[in-house]
Amino acid sequence: MVVRQLHVTPKISRKAPELDVVAVRAIGQRFAIHHRQRYIDALGKLDGRKREILAALPLFFHCNHPSLPGHLRDAPSGIWGHIPSGADLAAIHRFARSFDASLKPARQDIDAICLMGSGGSLGHTADSDIDLWVCCDETLHDALLPKLRAIELWAYQQGLAVQGFLVDPAHFRDPANSTHGPLLLDEFYRSGIHLTGKIPLWWYVSGTTATEYETSAKELMDIRFVRQESVLDFGPVGQPDLETLCAAGMTELSRALQTPHKSLLKLALVESYLNHAERPLLSSHYHHLMRTGVSDITRLDTYYILFDYLSASPTNRLSTFSAQDLREMFVRKIVSRGREIPRSSQLASEIRTWGFGDERIQALRHPQRMSLSSTLEEAKLSLALQHKGIQFGRRLSMLSPRIRPELITLENIFESYARPEDPALRPINPALLPAIRPHLEIRRVRRQWRLMEADNTLRTASTWAELLLWLTCNGIECQRLQSPTAWFDQAADFWLEATTRPFDLLLFFNPLPDPNDDGDRVITAFDDPLSYSGLSICKARMVWCVERSSDQFTLNEHLGEAGVLKALLAALQNNGAIEVAGATYEDKLLVRRVISLLHQGRSRLEIDGVFELAIGRSRYAIKRDNSGQLSCHLIPHAGHTTDSL
């Protein structure tokens, strides 16, 4: 990347206002150095092929050549004023060894290439997406878009997720353009990284309000410090109106489902803008730090200045998030997914004063190594913060009634996820549960089943199956699961195998050992399809029915002849996928017979509308009425009347 210095014309009109040209040039250099440092940090946080792609991205747009990714005939190319450096040439030669990138393109269609977002910040990791802004005139967008999409696809296939955007700076100066509004420009000015091409005029202006921007820009033009054709003039940020802030708040609240800490920090920024309209925006705060000579890379970090700005908000108005909430979100954002903070740094010392010791920080850096009990505590904290966000969303819906339907939808989504302590068998938001593999134990204590980790009780239930269903709901795979006996080891394996397959209804037979089983295998009546096996007993003593709706499970226990019949009736009534399983190897024959029985029953009901079967010493008739509902009746023997089950 080459940092171009703007040409300074020595001849200055005597009527031009006095301006310290040296100081203005120094400010521009300060911005350029900081952006260069962030770009280097972004490269350093990527590994191998990803780093090579990011380093070469500008030249893919500067040069339109068949040997390079994204080549399209007659596509716009050439970045204004870009002179490839030695590093640029080395980067491009990793993908096209014979290409001479030092040749000057015949065109200069592209104004600038910038990164957008968290690149190079404390929140950037090797897995982060790269948001790329290709700045050029709108008339070139249609011709350049296919090239941009081709480069995106190629980069994705190479392992780097790149999202490209074609941006015309004039869009931000158009009052009728609602897409490129003040909040987007505010974020670009404070978090974008200029890679090459024309430099933002915003770097050089002495003020950030609309009046200050226009006055300062005119002064710079009048003394010919800058030429209109050599800068990117996005214009002043402007003040976001109420509707814009409410819409932005709903966007961040929606994103908080997947990236809670990052999005809730941005939601807190929306609240700060709403509560304190008299304060300069965050981009103005960053602009002030740069102009006053702040060079500390941490103080200028995208996430740190966001946290610092929020922490310094006036306390004369009630805020949704407390100071401790902001600390919790900030720390979790900058240390999660393996992000490293040097222990000797001032930031690490500051974090320790907030109660985050080294051991806790290391646990947050590697959440997959945490115990399940610690993970659930983290999930509770994140859920509490998300629900605070919902409370702020309700306030926004009162200020802007048109967003109420969207808020109701979001509330329903948030409520569809379980809290760790909920008794219902439904999943916790997977974004809050890392892929851990804990060591767990199932214990029977009096009449209660417990899911244990070390000596901590994670969950209790009336059946052991509910505990394993909860693990299945949340995609938690145990590295080791200890059961009370060898019998339960086997039953748990069969249960987990069955519940991880897709089904709408699961029939799981004989989930507990038979207390009356003394080893005497009695052959039962031949006409009982659920007892007779030929050489060994095949008896359905008990069945658990598990219904699945989306990711939520409902478990019902059925005992004895009547219970088994009720389970079969439910399976015949259900038009979805039916899964049948048993708790032991001996139940495999029973499983096959139940499957055969269900096939036979469906066929008979379809053809005759009635299906007869024997269970134990009784015989039953299952009938379908005109509405499609099934009913079951006992077929009486001589001297008996018909009973309905």
pLDDT tens for 88-134 read 888 888 888 877 766 677 789 999 999 998 888 888 888 888 999 99
Please report the pLDDT score of residue 152 as a whole number. 95
Given its phi and psi angles, is residue 519 left (phi above 0), alpha (psi -120 to 50 degrees) or beta?
A: left
Among 365, 395, 425, identify where a domain stops. 425
Coil, helix or strand at residue 226? coil
Please report the pLDDT score of residue 483 as a whole number. 85
Whether 562 and 513 share a structural domain: yes
Whether 160 and 247 share a structural domain: no
Whether 98 and 208 share a structural domain: yes
- On whether residue 5 sits in a domain, the answer given is no
As a whole number of angstroms, the distance between CA 47 and CA 105 comes to 30
Query: Is 640 a residue whose pLDDT tops 50?
Result: no
419-474 pLDDT, tens digit each:
998 988 999 999 999 888 999 999 988 888 999 999 899 999 988 999 999 998 89
Query: In this predicted model, which residue has the larger pLDDT, 630 or 538?
Result: 630
Distances (CA, A) of 594 to 555, 608, 620: 19, 20, 16
5-40 pLDDT, tens digit each:
454 444 444 444 567 888 889 999 999 999 999 999
450 near 460, Cβ under 8 Å? yes
Please report the pLDDT score of residue 146 as a whole number. 95
Domain that holds residue 601: 501-645
Whether 214 and 247 share a structural domain: no
120 near 41, Cβ under 8 Å? yes
Query: Is 189 a residue whose pLDDT tops 70?
Result: yes
**Which of 96-110, 229-243, 577-591, 613-627 reaches the highest mean pLDDT?**
229-243
CA 144, 147, 153, 154 torsion-angle sign: negative
Q: State phi, psi for 214 to the nearest 5 degrees.
A: -65, -40
332-356 pLDDT, tens digit each:
999 877 667 777 788 888 999 999 8
Q: State phi, psi for 16 to the nearest 5 degrees.
A: -70, 145
Pairing mode, strands 480-482 and 552-559: unpaired
Whether 220 and 251 share a structural domain: no
Whether 421 and 560 share a structural domain: no
Coil, helix or strand at residue 90? helix
The amino acid occupying position 291 is R
CB neighbour class for 43 (10 Å; exposed up to 12, middle 13-18, buried from 19): middle
Whether 258 and 190 share a structural domain: no
- On whether residue 486 sits in a domain, the answer given is no
185 near 237, Cβ under 8 Å? yes
Residue 537 binned pLDDT confidence (cut-offs 50, 70, 90): low
- On whether residue 187 sits in a domain, the answer given is yes
Distances (CA, A) of 226 to 198, 263, 306, 603: 11, 38, 31, 84
Distances (CA, A) of 77 to 59, 113, 284, 495: 9, 12, 33, 60
84 near 62, Cβ under 8 Å? yes
264 near 333, Cβ under 8 Å? no
Please report the pLDDT score of residue 563 as a whole number. 86
As a whole number of angstroms, the distance between CA 101 and CA 65 comes to 10
Q: How many helices (H) and strands (E) does the chain have?
A: 19, 17
Mean pLDDT of 492-517: 86
Owner of token pair 């890379």: 297
Let me know the angle formed at the C-alpha of 250 by 392 and 192, rounded to the nearest 5 degrees: 110
Coil, helix or strand at residue 445? strand
As a whole number of angstroms, the distance between CA 75 and CA 70 comes to 9
Owner of token pair 């478990």: 555
Residue 264 binned pLDDT confidence (cut-offs 50, 70, 90): very high
Q: How far is CA 69 from the centre of its chain?
A: 29
Mean pLDDT of 538-551: 85
- On whether residue 561 sits in a domain, the answer given is yes
DSSP 453-504: ETTEEEEEESSHHHHHHHHHHTT---SEEE-SSHHHHHHHHHHHHHHTS--S
Please report the pLDDT score of residue 10 as a whole number. 46
- On whether residue 306 sits in a domain, the answer given is no
Which residues touch 408 (CB under 8 Å, ≥6 apart)?
A: none
Whether 157 and 255 share a structural domain: no
Whether 130 and 171 share a structural domain: yes
Mean pLDDT of 203-214: 91
- On whether residue 339 sits in a domain, the answer given is yes
477-499 pLDDT, tens digit each:
888 888 888 888 889 899 999 99
Distances (CA, A) of 592 to 336, 394, 507: 49, 54, 12
Whether 216 and 252 share a structural domain: no
383-432 pLDDT, tens digit each:
999 999 999 999 999 999 999 999 999 999 999 999 998 988 999 999 99
Q: What does pTM read for this prediction?
A: 0.86
Please report the pLDDT score of residue 523 as a whole number. 37
Whether 142 and 47 share a structural domain: yes
Closest by Cα among 36, 42, 8, 1 to 24:
8
Query: What would you report as the CA-atom Rg of the chain, rounded to the nearest whole angstrom?
Result: 33
617-635 pLDDT, tens digit each:
788 888 888 888 888 888 8
Residue 645 binned pLDDT confidence (cut-offs 50, 70, 90): very low
Query: Is 639 a residue whose pLDDT tops 50?
Result: no
Among 407, 425, 443, identify where a domain stops. 425
Mean pLDDT of 50-57: 92
Query: Is 303 a residue whose pLDDT tops 90?
Result: yes
The number of distinct structural domains making up the chain is 3
DSSP code, position 189: H
As a whole number of angstroms, the distance between CA 154 and CA 280 comes to 41
- On whether residue 3 sits in a domain, the answer given is no
Closest by Cα among 305, 299, 302, 261 to 280:
305
Distances (CA, A) of 27 to 201, 204, 206, 631: 12, 7, 10, 83
Query: In this predicted model, which residue has the larger pLDDT, 382 or 586?
Result: 382
Query: Is 159 a residue whose pLDDT tops 70?
Result: yes
DSSP code, position 17: P
Among 386, 408, 425, identify where a domain stops. 425
Q: Across the chain, what does the average pLDDT equal? A: 87
Mean pLDDT of 210-231: 88
169 near 233, Cβ under 8 Å? yes
As a whole number of angstroms, the distance between CA 618 and CA 633 comes to 11
Given its phi and psi angles, is residue 197 left (phi above 0), alpha (psi -120 to 50 degrees) or beta?
A: left
Mean pLDDT of 204-233: 89
Q: Which two tokens stand for residue 602?
A: 């469906």
DSSP 362-386: HHHH-GGGS-HHHHHHHHHHHHHHH
Closest by Cα among 460, 463, 461, 445 to 557:
463
- On whether residue 397 sits in a domain, the answer given is yes
Residue 519 binned pLDDT confidence (cut-offs 50, 70, 90): very low
The amino acid occupying position 89 is L
Whether 403 and 516 share a structural domain: no
155 near 52, Cβ under 8 Å? no
